[in-house]
């Protein structure tokens, strides 16, 4: 008999280019052996060159999607991506509380790889006030971390201070992603309020970076859905993203997608 897969839920925007957002999350859930479900928060008009349009889904429809999944296909873990507006952030936070969604991974999507802004400025504070205290893990890149904590985050020492601050603000743990460091070596730092974990790897010379944050947070959520410890879930997801970048298919003229067909963790 085939074992019943754990269910994971992504609450995020749709990427018409297929490399990020809902599309990347569902591909990653599949690679990690999870059954993927979704609540779409926005429809974006985008490709590897950038975002040319965003259409937000009505808030009550987003909440109804989450409720429909929770009622019939209760997820063992969930993640959020693009939430766009303060109203939607509040609504999603309420849905996570009301439906008691476990193992919530908060990917605070604010800016696309192309530089296009994907979050209203006034929604930043709403994320800190309403979503961060619900998160088992928050996974900002350096730019997102700086927006959330209110000070520049551009080196490993600042990353540590930001991680500590994010946990003080309510997250159970913070993973600071070092992809934007100005160095040949990338550093990713995990702080769970008690212990530090650090991963170092060489920088890859590639334009295929579209969807890395979505893929990483989805991989972590999938690991948590399987019942793995947080540090193992993070390590597996980091490894998956690295291999997916190394074997990227080179599609598109801009920031291309990863190869989500690489094997997930055993």
Per the residue annotation, which of 41, 209, 223, 264 is the catalytic one? 209
Dist CA 20 CA 13 (whole Å): 9
Q: Is 33 a catalytic residue?
A: no
Per the residue annotation, which of 211, 219, 223, 254 is the catalytic one? 211
Q: Is 21 a catalytic residue?
A: no
Q: Could you give the strand order of the β-sheet that contains 185-191, starting from the edge strand earlier in sequence? A: 50-56, 35-47, 7-15, 77-80, 104-106, 137-138, 174-176, 185-191, 196-202
Lookup: tokens for 205 = 């010379």
Per the residue annotation, which of 19, 28, 79, 177 is the catalytic one? 177
Dist CA 84 CA 96 (whole Å): 17
Per the residue annotation, which of 37, 126, 139, 212 is the catalytic one? 212
Terminal CA-to-CA distance of the chain, rounded, Å? 19
Per the residue annotation, which of 19, 213, 219, 223 is the catalytic one? 213
Give how far the C-alpha of residue 114 lies from the chain's centroid of Cα atoms, to the nearest Å.
17
Dist CA 56 CA 73 (whole Å): 25
Q: Is 13 a catalytic residue?
A: no
Dist CA 18 CA 11 (whole Å): 16
Q: Is 177 a catalytic residue?
A: yes
Dist CA 63 CA 196 (whole Å): 35
- 3-state class (DSSP) for residue 106: strand
Q: Is 36 a catalytic residue?
A: no
Residue with token string 């989805």: 218
Per the residue annotation, which of 214, 215, 219, 264 is the catalytic one? 214
Q: Are 66 and 92 in contact (CB under 8 A)?
A: yes
Q: Is 48 a catalytic residue?
A: no
Dist CA 171 CA 250 (whole Å): 36
203: DSSP letter: P
The residues annotated with a catalytic role in the active site are 177, 209, 211-214
């Amino acid at each position: 008999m085939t074992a019943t897969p754990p269910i994971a839920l992504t609450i995020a925007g749709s990427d018409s280019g297929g490399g990020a957002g809902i599309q990347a999350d569902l591909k990653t859930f599949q690679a990690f052996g999870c059954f993927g479900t979704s609540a779409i928060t926005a429809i974006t008009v985008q490709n590897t060159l950038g975002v040319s349009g965003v259409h937000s889904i009505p808030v009550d429809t987003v909440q109804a999607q989450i409720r429909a999944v929770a009622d019939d296909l209760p997820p063992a873990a969930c993640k959020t991506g693009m939430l766009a507006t303060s109203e939607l952030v509040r609504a999603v936070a309420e849905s996570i509380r009301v439906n008691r969604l476990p193992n919530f991974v908060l990917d605070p999507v604010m800016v696309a790889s192309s530089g296009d802004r994907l979050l209203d400025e006034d929604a930043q504070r709403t994320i800190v006030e309403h979503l961060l205290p619900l998160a088992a893990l928050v996974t900002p890149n350096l730019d997102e971390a700086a927006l959330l904590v209110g000070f520049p985050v551009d080196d490993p020492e600042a990353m540590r201070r930001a991680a500590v601050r994010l946990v003080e603000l309510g997250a159970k743990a913070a993973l600071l992603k070092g992809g934007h460091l100005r160095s040949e070596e990338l550093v990713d730092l995990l702080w769970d309020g008690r212990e530090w974990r650090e991963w170092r790897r060489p920088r890859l010379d590639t334009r295929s970076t579209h969807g890395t944050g979505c893929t990483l947070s989805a991989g972590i959520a999938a690991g948590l859905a399987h019942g793995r410890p947080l540090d193992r879930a993070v390590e597996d997801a980091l490894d998956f993203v690295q291999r997916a970048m190394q074997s990227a298919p080179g599609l598109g003229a801009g920031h291309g997608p990863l190869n989500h067909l690489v094997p997930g963790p055993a």
